[in-house]
Amino acid sequence: MQTQPVVAVDNVTKTYGKANEKQYQALKGVTFDVQPGEFVGIMGASGSGKTTLLNILSTLDRPTSGHVAINGQDVTKLRGNRLSDFRAKQVGFIFQDFNLLENLTARENIALPMALQNAGAKAQQAAVDKVAATLGIAGVLDHYPTELSGGQKQRVAAARALMQEPAILFGDEPTGALDSQSARDLLDTMQHLNQEQGVSILLVTHDPFSASYASRILFIKDGQVGTELRHAGKSQEAFYQEILNTLGTFQK
């Protein structure tokens, strides 16, 4: 039985600039799928197109041509409130700089997606308690972001992203602002969510160590997916070395 991809990207292009001006093509026909329960990494140098691709996948931007389907829904056709509702329920997002609201407690920040959907207080509290227990942050729920470490802030951000049990969790360099131990803790948590709870993850990163947690890596260069690596039962150390070797040849 064939399962439907949780993310299906079909010949996506993105061109910046008006027709009568100098144009820049950031994406040049990108096609790939993310299967349910898969942990996919996307790597590429600055200017390769990975941020543009992530913005399109997460419905923050639209492709010039091509289609993106998430959970079977063509998101390139959604507009207005339908798009907002879809994004709130189907897409989770962890940003590099946390994007927490400083005047809200950790609990209130985590509950925000459900609060914006007008969910009841009891439902919000139950969902927050559940995800906080999973991420090991139950003890900091009443603290404000200024009282939290970088690692704790990113776990709060991850909890917020998971509140609606999204079809896909996107990470945009989520370890970029963390010290090495906090980064490792977050990656271990993401790997646990993927392997034990079946959360589908797509991680955009330039960091080979972060990428070594993925089951499959797509390398993007000059707006196109060029090389693919699969973890395929290797040790993490061996996969990490393979990533380093690939980056060495890919970026020449």
Confidence (pLDDT) at 3: 79
For residue range 177-227, what is the model confidence (pLDDT) as tens digits? Answer: 889 999 999 999 999 999 999 999 999 998 999 999 999 999 999 999 989
Confidence (pLDDT) at 217: 97
The DSSP call for residue 244 is H
Alpha helices in 64-105 (DSSP H): 80-90
Beta bridge partners of residue 93, listed in sequence order: 170
Q: 20 with 7: CB under 8 angstroms?
A: no
What Rg do the C-alpha atoms of the chain give, in angstroms?
A: 18
Q: How many domains does the chain have?
A: 1
pTM of the model: 0.91
Domain contains 242: yes
Domain contains 12: yes
Beta bridge partners of residue 28, listed in sequence order: 13
For residue range 4-19, what is the model confidence (pLDDT) as tens digits? Answer: 999 999 999 999 988 8
Confidence (pLDDT) at 20: 84
Confidence (pLDDT) at 250: 66
Tally Cβ neighbours within 10 Å of residue 79: 8
Beta bridge partners of residue 66, listed in sequence order: none
Closest by alpha carbon to 202, among 26, 28, 36, 3?
Answer: 36
Confidence (pLDDT) at 154: 92
Domain contains 138: yes
Confidence (pLDDT) at 47: 84
CA 136 – CA 130 distance, rounded (Å): 10
For residue range 96-140, what is the model confidence (pLDDT) as tens digits? Answer: 888 999 999 999 999 998 888 888 999 999 999 999 998 999 999
Quick one: 232 exposed, middle or buried, by C-beta within 10 A (0-12, 13-18, 19+)? exposed
CA 154 – CA 231 distance, rounded (Å): 26
Confidence (pLDDT) at 251: 57
Confidence (pLDDT) at 209: 94
Element containing residue 168 per DSSP (H, E): strand 168-172
Residue 67 scores a pLDDT above 70? yes
Of the pLDDT bands very low, low, confident and very high (cuts 50, 70, 90), residue 252 is: low
Confidence (pLDDT) at 89: 87
Domain contains 40: yes
Domain contains 184: yes
Domain contains 105: yes
Confidence (pLDDT) at 205: 93
Q: 61 with 14: CB under 8 angstroms?
A: yes
CA 38 – CA 171 distance, rounded (Å): 14
Confidence (pLDDT) at 96: 85
Single-letter code of the amino acid located at 126: A
Range of the domain at 200: 7-250
Residue length of the chain = 252
Of the pLDDT bands very low, low, confident and very high (cuts 50, 70, 90), residue 73 is: very high
Domain contains 1: no
CATH code where residue 239 lies: 3.40.50.300
CA angle 68, 73, 75 (to 5 degrees): 45
Domain contains 2: no
Confidence (pLDDT) at 172: 92
Confidence (pLDDT) at 248: 83
Sole residue written with tokens 């390769």: 48
Section 73-85 average pLDDT: 91
Single-letter code of the amino acid located at 191: Q
